[in-house]
Amino acid sequence: MNGIFSKRSAAVVLGVVAMMVAVSGCDSDAASLRAPENSVAVSVPADWYGDKPVLRYQVDAARGRLWVLTAEGVELYDAKTRDRIAQIALPDWTWVGPRFACPPDLAIGPLGEVIVSSNVVPTLWRVDPATLAASRHELALDEDKGRDVGITVIVYSVQQRAYFAVSAAHGSLWRIDPRLARAQGIPLSEPLPKSCTLAIPPREPDRRAIRAVDFCVRGEEGDWTVAFAPDQRFGYVRPGQCKT
């Protein structure tokens, strides 16, 4: 799942996980999110986070990059040398602190681009993997029009070639096209309240297997698995963590 930790625990967490991005047996299906085979940073120097809390982090192992989301924007590091490559400001980025919602999220796209969410409005920011320029993208929602749908979880699915996002405030699940233009709400058998992390488990040998799981979701009120109907237009939510 996505990394999430505070200033106090930043060095400890990354030292323990050593760049792993799996939690509670939930692994991403994207190769770029797996830990690299060779050794990478085993701890985080203080200047990786300074006086700013780290909201999220993601490892792009395929490209040897560590992306960190702080209160002031995105920081990019070389995963091997631990050198900071860039600090990237996000234009008009809006979010609220943990007292009000789960933190905004950060995801790595299929080309190495980074997508950052707002936890109060349906807007995304994209950081180009080559130029490191940040662009702002307002999502057109197919429902909940007129309401602010903040995104607290976002992840890219290689298999479905789309981003999937969760709004903790509403417990809703959304499918977002790779162009970051539209968000389609996916009806659920029950909501996913206060959801802070999401992961895609390993693929089933037979995708037609009964209760095949598409997502693992963790929130303040519990853990769930989400399995799509065959037409992917409906999600069945069940309590409990994903099995390894």
DSSP string, 55-118: EEEEEETTTTEEEEEETTEEEEEETTT--EEEEE--TT-----TTTSPPP-EEE-TTS-EEEE-
What is the rounded CA–CA span in Å between residue 229 and residue 160? Answer: 14
Q: What is the mean pLDDT of residues 170-189?
A: 90
Whole-number pLDDT of residue 142: 79
Beginning with the edge strand found earlier in the chain, give each strand of the sheet holding 54-60 in spatial order: 54-60, 65-70, 73-78, 84-88
Query: Strands 172-176 and 182-186: what pairing?
Result: antiparallel
**pLDDT higher than threshold 80 for residue 148:** no
Cα-based distances in Å from 178 to 17, 108, 157, 199, 209:
29, 12, 10, 18, 28
Kindly state the average pLDDT of the residues 121-139: 96
pLDDT, residue 147, reads 61
Tell whether the torsion through CA atoms of 94, 97, 102 and 107 is positive or negative: positive
Q: Is residue 90 very low, low, confident or very high in pLDDT (cuts 50, 70, 90)?
A: very high
Taking the C-alpha atoms of residue 163 and residue 90, their distance in angstroms, rounded to an integer, is 20
CA distances to 38, 48, 87, 138 from 84, in Å: 20, 8, 8, 29
3-state secondary structure of 128: coil
Helix (H) or strand (E) holding 166: strand 162-167
Strand partners, 184: 175
Q: Determine the Cα–Cα distance for residues 110 and 162; give it in Å rounded to an integer.
A: 9
Position 50 pLDDT exceeds 70 = no
Token pair belonging to 16? 């323990």
Least reliable range by pLDDT among 58-62, 77-81, 238-242: 238-242
- Domains, the chain, in order of start with CATH, read 7-239 (2.130.10.10)
Q: What is the mean pLDDT of residues 14-19?
A: 33
Rounded alpha-carbon distances, angstroms, from residue 83 to 87, 88, 118, 184, 194: 12, 15, 27, 39, 35
Q: How confident is the model at residue 145 (pLDDT cuts 50, 70, 90)?
A: low
Q: What percent of the chain has pLDDT over 90?
A: 35
